[in-house]
Amino acid sequence: MITTVVYALIAIMVLGAIWLKAGVRIVKQFERGVVFRFGQVRPELRAPGLALIMPVADHLQKVNMQVVTMPVPAQDAITRDNVTVHVDAVIYFRVVDPVRVVVGVQDYESAIRQVALASLRSIIGKSELDDLLSNRERLNQGLELMIDSPAVGWGVHIDRVEIKDVVLPESMKRSMSRQAEAERERRSRIITAEGELQASKKLAQAAETMALHPAALQLRLLQTVVEVAAEKNSTLVLPFPVELLRFLERATPPESGQATAHSTPALSGDLSAPVGQHLPGTRIPSQVAPDAAETGR
Q: Residues 22-49: pLDDT tens digits?
A: 778 888 888 888 888 888 888 888 888 8
pLDDT band at 207 (very low <50, low <70, confident <90, very high): confident
Query: How do the domains of the chain map onto residue ranges?
Result: 2-64, 68-173
Residue with the bigger pLDDT between 286 and 188: it is: 188
pTM for this predicted structure: 0.56
pLDDT of 214 over the 50 cut: yes
Give the tens place of pLDDT for each residue, 231-250: 676 676 666 667 667 777 77
3-class DSSP string for the chain: CHHHHHHHHHHHHHHHHHHHHHHEEEECCCEEEEEEECCEEEEEEECCEEEECCCCCEEEEEEECCCEEEEEEEEEEECCCCCEEEEEEEEEEEECCHHHHHHHCCCHHHHHHHHHHHHHHHHHHCCCHHHHHHCHHHHHHHHHHHHHHHHHCCCEEEEEEEEEEEECCHHHHHHHHHHHHHHHHHHHHHHHHHHHHHHHHHHHHHHHHHHHCCHHHHHHHHHHHHHHHCCCCCCCCCCCCHHHHHHHHHHCCCCHHHHHHHHHHHHHHHHCCCCCCCCCCCCCHHHHHHHHHHHHC
pLDDT of 52 over the 50 cut: yes
Q: Taking the domain 68-173, which CATH number applies?
A: 3.30.479.30
